[in-house]
Amino acid sequence: MGLPRIAADALRGGTRHRYADHRWGVCELHVPRAAGPYPVVVVLHGGSWRAGYDRRVMRPVCRDLVRRGWAAWNVEYRRVGGGQDGGWPATFEDVAAAIDALAGADPRLDLGRVVLLGHSAGGHLALWAAGRPQLPDGAPGAGPRVLPQAVIAQAPVANLERARALVEPGGAVNALLGGSPEEQPERYALANPVRQVPLGIPALLVHGPEDRTVSVGQSRDYAQAARSAGAAVELVEPPGATHRDHVDPRSTAWAAVTSRLGGLAGEPTI
């Protein structure tokens, strides 16, 4: 089934683009005032993949990206609860469709310079989306139309099976995938980023060592697995960074992202 035609309407600070025919199938595009083409950051919010948090939490970093000369593609997607019918496979299908919708969003976007960026649960989705080219035919998200040049994960849930409290009944990962690893092994094999290494693009992970929401062990596990597989990965652990600092443009956690992102404007490497 093809993507729906993208429509845009005025939005404070950007434009709203529709990539699917359900309520949450929208993205916000923020662009610099200067003439394009603009490199693009695809922005994926967190919130435990559950209803309650949405793309608004990422607007401050989107504005900062624009100030730095990047276009920001702020993605909404179906989540678990709240009548959204998210989870497997809808959440993954939405993220894939939203990224692919860049191909028809705006001719000023440079699709040869696309970076994926996500926070927390969005960091998981960014790492997962970076591995879409190696998904088997028929899997949710397989066959991407838009290929990123790098991925940045901020305090991500990067190893779903390591988060034992989250995969137990009532846990966020259990709700996302409809069961535990023992109950849904095929889903975990397709959805767990650590199973996708090595990626064919560089990865940057930024994670506070004292994060009380998502353990830094998540990023350390991923970085170790990626390096062992020969992947290009960097892990930065900003001292004292809290989980929410990653979405604050004034924080050292965000500075760790922007100090490396600048190199991507000219060359697709971290």
* pLDDT tens-digit series, residues 89-135: 999 999 999 999 999 899 999 999 999 999 999 999 999 999 999 99
Decide: 214 and 155 in contact? Cβ < 8 Å.
Answer: yes
* pLDDT tens-digit series, residues 208-258: 999 999 999 999 999 999 999 999 999 999 999 999 999 999 999 999 999
In 3D, which of 76, 95, 66, 96 has the Cα closest to residue 27? 76
pTM, 2 dp: 0.93
pLDDT greater than 50 at residue 7: no
Q: Which residues contact 35 (CB under 8 A, 6 or more apart)?
A: 108
Mean pLDDT of 9-15: 55
pLDDT greater than 60 at residue 11: no
Q: How is domain 8-263 classified at the architecture level of CATH?
A: 3-Layer(aba) Sandwich (3.40)
Decide: 71 and 31 in contact? Cβ < 8 Å.
Answer: yes
Where does the chain show beta strands of DSSP type E? 8-11, 14-18, 26-30, 38-44, 71-75, 109-119, 150-154, 203-206, 233-236
Average pLDDT taken over every residue of the chain:
91
Distance CA 225, CA 190 (A): 16
Mean pLDDT of 4-17: 55
How confident is the model at residue 136, as a pLDDT? 97
Distance (Å) of CA 253 to CA 47, 48, 240, 263? 18, 20, 9, 17
Distance CA 270, CA 265 (A): 10
pLDDT greater than 50 at residue 5: no
How confident is the model at residue 169, as a pLDDT? 92
* pLDDT tens-digit series, residues 39-64: 999 999 999 999 989 999 999 999 99
How confident is the model at residue 264, as a pLDDT? 53
SS3 (DSSP) at 199:
coil
Return the percentage of the chain with pLDDT > 70, whole number. Answer: 92
Break the chain into its structural domains and give their ranges: 8-263
* pLDDT tens-digit series, residues 131-186: 999 999 999 999 999 999 999 999 999 999 988 889 899 999 999 999 999 999 99
